[in-house]
Chains A and B, each alone.
Chain A
């Protein structure tokens, strides 16, 4: 993993998010206030625009600059959560050494743990964490095994998709008493959908490399 790898992934993700923007916006408007997709799009644009400033920087420095950009440029829940993600990734030890697959897994796991802490959300609460936590758990499993990387990534794609779809009926099964709980039933969480698309894009690009 390097800064240029991160930038090229951001560019891939930007294309996929733009293609699915109308769907995510509609999901958000069904149950939320409709700002999620704009925040994600704004964040990706800011990261891609950083390319010339950071492409030759060491990974830790690059990650910190991405974190600050995301944190100060997005706003909303997404800004705080994704900013926390990059900031924590940058704190993973030994980033100045060669980053192999295991190290990359460790970085992502560290980042997702910090998001969980920041958002105080766990599995089953109809948020992006419903996708990210199971993915992080799978990465942890892959990290310590000698499993085939590409097979592992295919499994992650599947996990992310299943978990994203599982948010659809979540509020009802959780039995929240409010009427909104009942009304939110049948809608996939927009944050879960955007997170799943991001994971899907990264995993596919690694498999096809």
Chain B
């Protein structure tokens, strides 16, 4: 294993400490229990959004804490769900009285720990579960579909509504709409190495790819020989379009997400392929996002997410955001 590590046990603590120092203008890192919150207090009457999950997906979720997005994020150990006391402490810290909305990816560990955290928190709260991955219906770690890259879009879009005074019920409703309107499909070329494990999570041949991979390197639909990008992207899009049942001329947001080890150069090539394919099917791309947002450590690969957009979604997508990983309009 070749990584920037001093001591495996200090890996998360040191990374969080660096994150806190690098973005001290936006966020604050609290240790034991670990959570990242905005530097400023939640304004009165604003619904607080809290997300979290295992670490190793950076910038998700800590990189999305800030104006127009999350109020707090709870990082677990690498690829392990955070613990209920983190969610409870984060909620107590950020809730300004308008309630807390937990945004949870559909993984069993996350669901259980967030549920317990919500039970332990005495204030008003509710949760949305994201499950945008069209690759598998049931994985060994979920019941139903996995929650992956579209979680980024949910956090951005609901974050804007919360910032502009949306109620807990309205925020939940919009989040569920964004989740329902999106589909994601991922492909991996290489594995990733969890620091505590010290060796790659799975073996994969030099000429192979895992089609439908999850964000922890867990298996997807099938193992295949690698193909030209256009072919891969076409297969990914077909799986998504099949699921979303998009109509001709429908407006979409196209999100090409890197898994951590694939350069932006390739991600833009993927974007180009996706544009061409979607154009041939008469589907309109009205917004775009390209980059490493929901990663799997150093895994090489990418996921494609399509989000069906209406006016409400577009308006909240365009609204100003200022976080460590996403910033526009301010």
**A contact set with B: CB distance below 8 Å:** 25, 29, 31-35, 38-39, 68, 71-81, 83-84, 118-120, 126, 176-181, 183-184, 189
Contacts and interface: CB of A to CB of B under 8 A. Distances in A.
14 contacts: A31-B218, A33-B218, A34-B216, A71-B116, A75-B76, A75-B81, A76-B77, A78-B109, A79-B113, A80-B109, A118-B116, A179-B136, A179-B220, A180-B221
Nearest to B89: A72
Contact of B116 (A39, A80, A178, A179): A80
A208 B219 CA distance: 42
A71 B221 contact: no
B143 A120 contact: yes
Given A29-B201, A31-B219, A32-B218, A75 B138 contact: no
Given A25-B197, A29-B201, A75 B113 contact: yes
Given A77-B108, A120-B143, A178-B221, A34 B194 contact: yes
Contacts of A25: 197
Given A179-B220, A180-B139, 5 more contacts: A32-B218, A33-B216, A72-B86, A75-B80, A79-B80
A169 B226 CA distance: 30
A25 B198 CA distance: 12
A171 B138 CA distance: 10
Contacts, number: 120
A76 B76 contact: yes
A180 B112 contact: no
Interface string B48-84: 0000001000000000000000000000111111111
A41 to B, nearest CB: 9
A37 B220 CA distance: 22
A79 B112 CA distance: 9
Interface string B26-61: 000000010000000000000000000010000000
Contacts of A71: 83-85, 116
A38 B80 CA distance: 10
A83 to B, nearest CB: 8
Given A79-B81, A119-B112, A178 B138 contact: yes
B214 interface: yes
Contacts of B141: 32-33, 77
A52 to B, nearest CB: 20
